[in-house]
Amino acid sequence: MPTWLIYAFLSAVFAATTSILAKIGIAGVDSNLATAIRTIVILFFAWMLVAYQGHLKDVTTLNRTNLIFLVLSGLATGLSWLFYFKALQVGEVSKVVPIDKLSLVLAIIIAATFLKEKVSLLGWLGVPLISLRTLLTTLK
């Protein structure tokens, strides 16, 4: 099994866990405050991991393009988390998560369009199927 596939599955497991833990954790708490607390934990955890692996010195190797796009990615992540936590606070996990996962459809389309990544015929077939899955799982 390719390493990327193992990491992708682990990402899915922890993303699912995140949704459940977040739903419980935001009960009676402002969603933006909850996001800020979560962000502090992630910030500390990520920098400790970088330090543990001995990659702190690599910060000096980042070029302007790296920094610009990593900052923009961070802003997009922050906005995603803020909206996600608000949606979890006022909605049901079983409905919020499938809609959030429409990011998969958007990412495939954007990667094919702007990054010129090749998407297989089966990959393109999956796009409307994932969209249909989202519709079916969020209907009342």
Instruction: Determine the Cα–Cα distance for residues 121 and 103; give it in Å rounded to an integer.
Output: 19
> What is the pLDDT confidence band of residue 45, given thresholds at 50, 70 and 90?
very high
Contact 25, 68 (CB under 8 A): no
pLDDT digits (tens, 9 = 90+) for 119-128: 999 999 999 9
* pTM given for the model: 0.82
To the nearest 10 degrees (0 to 180), the angle between helices 64-90 and 31-52 is: 140
Are 105 and 131 spatial neighbours (Cβ–Cβ below 8 Å)? yes
CA–CA gap between residue 89 and residue 97 (Å, rounded): 12
Query: What is the tens place of the pLDDT at every residue in 60-112?
Result: 999 999 999 999 999 999 999 999 999 999 999 999 999 999 999 999 999 99
**At a CB cut-off of 8 Å and minimum separation 6, what does 134 contact?**
98, 99, 101, 102
Q: Which sign, positive or negative, has the C-alpha torsion 111, 113, 116, 118?
A: positive
Whole-number pLDDT of residue 1: 83
CB 118 within 8 A of CB 71: no
Structure tokens at 86: 């608000």
Instruction: Say if residue 140's pLDDT is above 80.
Output: no
